[in-house]
Structure 1
Amino acid sequence: MTAHPADPSPGRGQQEEAIAFLGDPRTHGGRAVERIDTHAALVFLVGDRALKLKRAVRYPYLDYSTVEKRHTACAAELAINRRTAPALYRGMVAIRRGNDGSLRLEDGDGAGEAPREAAGEAVDWLVSMARFPDEALFDRMAERRALTPDLMRRLAERIAAFHREADPRPDGGGLAAMRTVADGNFQDLRAMPDMFPADVVARLAERTGNALDRLAPLLEERRRTGFVRHGHGDLHLRNIVLLDGEPTLFDAIEFDEALAVADVFYDLAFLLMDLDHRGLRPLGNVVLNRYLEETGDYGGLAALPLFLSLRAAVRAKVSAAALRLGGKAEGLAEEARHYLDHALAALDRVPARLLAVGGLSGTGKTRLALGIAPGLGPAPGAVVLRSDVLRKRLCGVADTDRLPADGYAPAVTERVYAELCRRAAAVLAAGHAVVIDAVSARPDERRRIEAVAAAAGTRFDGIWMEAPLAERVERVTNRRNDASDATADVVERQESYDLGTIGWTRLDSGRVAAEVLDDARASLA
């Protein structure tokens, strides 16, 4: 596709009449009309539905410059987005010109197909969607700090399920696709030197090229082995909405299949980058860890810094494009430059490291592990391997299902620690940080974990959590919906354990959790 950075709207004039028509309450029986503008579409909110008109624009990565291309894109948008949000996408609507020259809507709402052919020229096409409150969008929820760890875990589960069900596409993605994305980014960024300093863009291009060269074998292996799939393609917070209490993905890319057929970790990276960019790295860490628990795809971690950088660069050029279409100059210009800085920072090399958090049941291991993980290693923080969750997965039950006694037999525990160490080694090999959350009561269990870091040549830290018996009993008794099966009886039996010599940093966890977290961070500095 030919790039036209200086003229993104070759057909802007052709839509003026249609835009005025859609914005007129008389078109909709007198109902009020609200309008939302983006760099690629205009959305008209009327009653219980939203009508989406694709702009007559052409970018290097998108071409809606003719009625025919917009018609094709509308049909594709319906088909692609009904994979994740079937209740949201109702159908297509035509804007037709009658014999008297006036415009009218030919409504195919809910039909699932384009409206039947009728007399009159099709002036343009719309996607008809069910309307939802703006406050249900995840970007709005992020702004008012309404996103919770539980909600983000459910979102990660949705994304993991979507990726499992998406079609594998070894014919796309891989190294060639990532180079194409990078080349497109730098072509657009260089075309706007007034917005993006040439030296910064040059530095980013060099570091991106080095990362692509280094990761080429991995990207190709993942393409061949099924990790390239037809995903969402534009998975940031504004394209996620809370519908009927559940996170719902919508507005997937339809205009260029090559942008949506990509490594599943590249698909996920847009969300992680968006959260990190908004100062919500702890929530990004929750998403990453739940996604890994659902998929076991630790191999993708090595490419994550590159993917985060590419996504940030995409947002930089999109923000600049919105500015050229008349957006709020000061805010969009600053946002675009911040995204460019983010793209560069994502490629900073951060050493891998392993932290083990041990202690008897009820000492607060998981709280500390989850609290400290976002600040360790590359964005969005360390991978947390929790023995309680892994034990349930290995036994084939849900995280909160209680296991019978044989689920804690020595042979099962041996298998759990072996798998913890295997996964930790995979994370370290990918250049990421990892936190192992396990009781680790036996000296050989602790030595085994330490050996993983030694074999990888990475830094190891061990923290041993301690709390009075009465407090530990109270904590496990009050747990709800947790993967741990520990009870008061288990805690009391653990008092008889021979722990051996503990060489890890000891922390008194019988205090306010924030103080314990501060002390743990200080010990790791």
Structure 2
Amino acid sequence: METEMAAESADQAEVFAFLGDPATHGLREPVIRIDTHGASVFLAGDDVYKVKRAVRFPFMDFSTLEKRRLACEAEIEANRRNAPDLYLGVIPISRESNHLRLGKGSEIIEWAVHLRRFDENRTLDRLAAQGPLEPKIAAQFGEMVAAAHCKAPVFRDRNATATLRAQIIETGRGLADAGDVFPAEAAARLQGAMLGAFDDVEPLLLRREEAGDVRRCHGDLHLRNIVMIGDAPVLFDALEFDEKLAICDRLYDLAFLLMDFWTRGHFSEANLTMNRYLSASDSLEAQLSGLKALPVFLSLRAAIRARVATLEPSPSPETIASARLLFAAAGDFLAFEAPRLVAIGGRSGTGKTQLARRLAASIGRPPGAVHLRSDVARKRMFRVSELERLPQEAYQPEASVPVYSRLYALAALTLKTGQSVVIDAAFFKESERADAEVATGAGGAFLGLWLDAPLQARLQRVSARHGDASDAGPQVALAQEDVSLGEINWVRVDAAQPPERVAQAALAVLQKPGA
């Protein structure tokens, strides 16, 4: 395989030298070249030219000029939906009187995708390598992917579930073929575990396919294929070489991004992305029930990424080490972890939502717990956006009954999938706290946390709020001082401390044996 790849790449050497020459583009500064296993990309001033490498893999075939032309056209089609300002078109590279030129000539010898250049240092893999991402940015990713899936074409007749099974088998074989990187017995065990997990969720996946959750997705949704342009994330470089792989379950598409975050150690970002995706989804219950398939989705994404890393002609020691870490993660994603429900209650301004977000990534299996929030559930029930204020009548006791019922129903649905849940709500009534514990009847352990903070601290916090789903201001916080709470048998946490200290105290409770 490597000899064939090297020979085919040599045929493109003239084209690559041409595109890498600043004079081709009328530049003085150097042209930057970036190689992947399937393409060579040339950054030239304000332009980018992407040429498919003349390679053939089991999952990708760019071995002829015509196949590369079709792949370039498919890439434009696949990406203009999410990045119309970046993708400019397909451009031929021609030979004319013994020299090459961009554009049509007497002999077209190659094709390239022409893009508008962006700041390559603003791709998410590079930003993530610098440290944690701001929660606001991470939240945008989930909303962006949900919006992309909402407008993506639906396919009910492409046998996407069968294709997924075939991917597991093919990936397992590929891992076994790379015996110098992955132990053969371990590769066989991983494939068996993935197939077992797949068989368990196959009926669910078939129902999702019939219901419209299989769509023409991005297909290659990892951090390197997201770029921040201004303050907004933009999806680019969607999978173009095989529609069978790109037409998939929407949660399988999302799983690539979650896996990439998680295996890089960005656990909070993975969890927040998942939760914002669910919150922004056009079918919350359907996506919550689909979480049952998330372990096999995450595992397969990690296994495929591990296998692809070994397909480079001469993978570096760093690449091999990364592949082995992804291989190990593929197995870890399938490990069972009992789900649990954590409920966080307290008066307005005690920091319930902030604590829930900080804890969620540490609760249950990857990528952590589903965060259900009463403020958001209430807004959904009244069919308004999260930031639109509701009238006072929406907060009367009788109006809160269906809100809590909704939270418990969503929690029970999620727990049945094996995913953990954290609910943040006031929980002023003893009956509300008791009903929260009943929700774990679907399976899993329960822990209730009650946050206490003095009035002055709470008033300062609610006064400083902006851009939040909560409508509670200082008047509400004052009025809550007189609310009778009854007996509170949940674990009480001092919420007057800085948020980091509150989270540490709550985590200590979570990690206690039997908690």
Q: TM-score with structure 1 length normalisation?
A: 0.94
Match of 2:157 in 1: 171
Structure 1 residue 484 corresponds to structure 2 residue 474: no
Report the alpha carbon displacement of residue 175 of structure 1 after superposing the two structures with TM. Answer: 2.6
Match of 1:111 in 2: none
Written as runs of structure 1 = structure 2, the 5 A alignment for 1:416-431 is 416-431=403-418
- For the residues of structure 2 that align with 1:141 and 1:450, how far apart are their CA atoms? 40
Kept after mapping to 2: 8 A contact 1:228/1:262: yes
Distance of aligned partners of 1:418 and 1:27 in 2 relative to their CA distance in 1, 3 Å threshold: same
Structure 1 residue 160 corresponds to structure 2 residue 146: yes
Q: Of 307, 314, 318, which aligns to 2:297? A: 307
Identity of aligned residues (%): 44
Match of 1:227 in 2: 213
Structure 2, unaligned runs of 5 or more = none
- For the residues of structure 1 that align with 2:510 and 2:4, how far apart are their CA atoms? 53
- For the residues of structure 2 that align with 1:169 and 1:347, how far apart are their CA atoms? 28
Structure 1 residue 345 corresponds to structure 2 residue 342: no
Kept after mapping to 2: 8 A contact 1:11/1:66: no
Structure 1 residue 449 corresponds to structure 2 residue 436: yes
Report the alpha carbon displacement of residue 34 of structure 1 after superposing the two structures with TM. Answer: 1.4
- For the residues of structure 2 that align with 1:244 and 1:466, how far apart are their CA atoms? 40
Match of 1:57 in 2: 55
Kept after mapping to 1: 8 A contact 2:47/2:117: yes
Structure 1 residue 523 corresponds to structure 2 residue 506: no
Structure 1 residue 318 corresponds to structure 2 residue 316: no
Structure 1 residue 39 corresponds to structure 2 residue 37: yes
Kept after mapping to 1: 8 A contact 2:142/2:276: yes
Structure 1, unaligned runs of 5 or more = 107-117
Report the alpha carbon displacement of residue 489 of structure 1 after superposing the two structures with TM. Answer: 1.5
Match of 1:109 in 2: none
Match of 1:391 in 2: 378
Could you say what secondary structure the match of 2:360 adopts? Answer: helix
Distance of aligned partners of 1:233 and 1:10 in 2 relative to their CA distance in 1, 3 Å threshold: farther
- For the residues of structure 1 that align with 2:424 and 2:132, how far apart are their CA atoms? 28
Q: RMSD of the TM alignment (CA)?
A: 1.4
Written as runs of structure 1 = structure 2, the 5 A alignment for 1:56-205 is 56-98=54-96, 100-106=97-103, 119-145=105-131, 147-172=133-158, 174-205=160-191
Report the alpha carbon displacement of residue 9 of structure 1 after superposing the two structures with TM. Answer: 5.0
Q: Deviations over 1:359-380 (max 9, x none)?
A: 1111111111111110011111
Q: TM-score with structure 2 length normalisation?
A: 0.96
Q: Of 261, 270, 275, which aligns to 2:247? A: 261
Report the alpha carbon displacement of residue 521 of structure 1 after superposing the two structures with TM. Answer: 1.2
Distance of aligned partners of 1:5 and 1:395 in 2 relative to their CA distance in 1, 3 Å threshold: farther
Structure 1 residue 298 corresponds to structure 2 residue 285: no
- For the residues of structure 2 that align with 1:195 and 1:499, how far apart are their CA atoms? 60
Could you say what secondary structure the match of 2:311 adopts? Answer: helix
Q: Deviations over 1:31-72 (max 9, x none)?
A: 431111111111111110100011000000000000000000
- For the residues of structure 2 that align with 1:338 and 1:458, how far apart are their CA atoms? 30
Match of 2:453 in 1: 467
- For the residues of structure 2 that align with 1:215 and 1:6, how far apart are their CA atoms? 40
Report the alpha carbon displacement of residue 147 of structure 1 after superposing the two structures with TM. Answer: 2.4
- The one-letter code sitting in structure 1 at the alignment partner of 2:108 is A
Report the alpha carbon displacement of residue 119 of structure 1 after superposing the two structures with TM. Answer: 4.8
Report the alpha carbon displacement of residue 26 of structure 1 after superposing the two structures with TM. Answer: 2.6
- For the residues of structure 1 that align with 2:328 and 2:204, how far apart are their CA atoms? 26
- For the residues of structure 1 that align with 2:398 and 2:483, how far apart are their CA atoms? 18
Could you say what secondary structure the match of 1:520 adopts? Answer: helix
Kept after mapping to 2: 8 A contact 1:137/1:238: yes
- For the residues of structure 1 that align with 2:43 and 2:454, how far apart are their CA atoms? 59
Report the alpha carbon displacement of residue 24 of structure 1 after superposing the two structures with TM. Answer: 2.0
Match of 1:13 in 2: 10
Distance of aligned partners of 1:183 and 1:5 in 2 relative to their CA distance in 1, 3 Å threshold: farther
Equivalent pairs counted in the alignment come to 506
Could you say what secondary structure the match of 1:161 adopts? Answer: helix
Report the alpha carbon displacement of residue 173 of structure 1 after superposing the two structures with TM. Answer: 5.1
Q: Of 21, 35, 45, which aligns to 1:24? A: 21
Distance of aligned partners of 1:287 and 1:119 in 2 relative to their CA distance in 1, 3 Å threshold: closer
Bigger Cα displacement from structure 2, 408-417 vs 25-34: 25-34
Bigger Cα displacement from structure 2, 55-64 vs 193-202: 193-202
Distance of aligned partners of 1:206 and 1:28 in 2 relative to their CA distance in 1, 3 Å threshold: same
- For the residues of structure 1 that align with 2:483 and 2:22, how far apart are their CA atoms? 75
Structure 1 residue 206 corresponds to structure 2 residue 192: yes
Distance of aligned partners of 1:357 and 1:5 in 2 relative to their CA distance in 1, 3 Å threshold: farther
Distance of aligned partners of 1:219 and 1:163 in 2 relative to their CA distance in 1, 3 Å threshold: same
- For the residues of structure 1 that align with 2:258 and 2:449, how far apart are their CA atoms? 28
Report the alpha carbon displacement of residue 314 of structure 1 after superposing the two structures with TM. Answer: 1.0
Kept after mapping to 2: 8 A contact 1:8/1:58: yes
Match of 1:436 in 2: 423
Bigger Cα displacement from structure 2, 129-138 vs 10-19: 10-19
Report the alpha carbon displacement of residue 122 of structure 1 after superposing the two structures with TM. Answer: 1.1
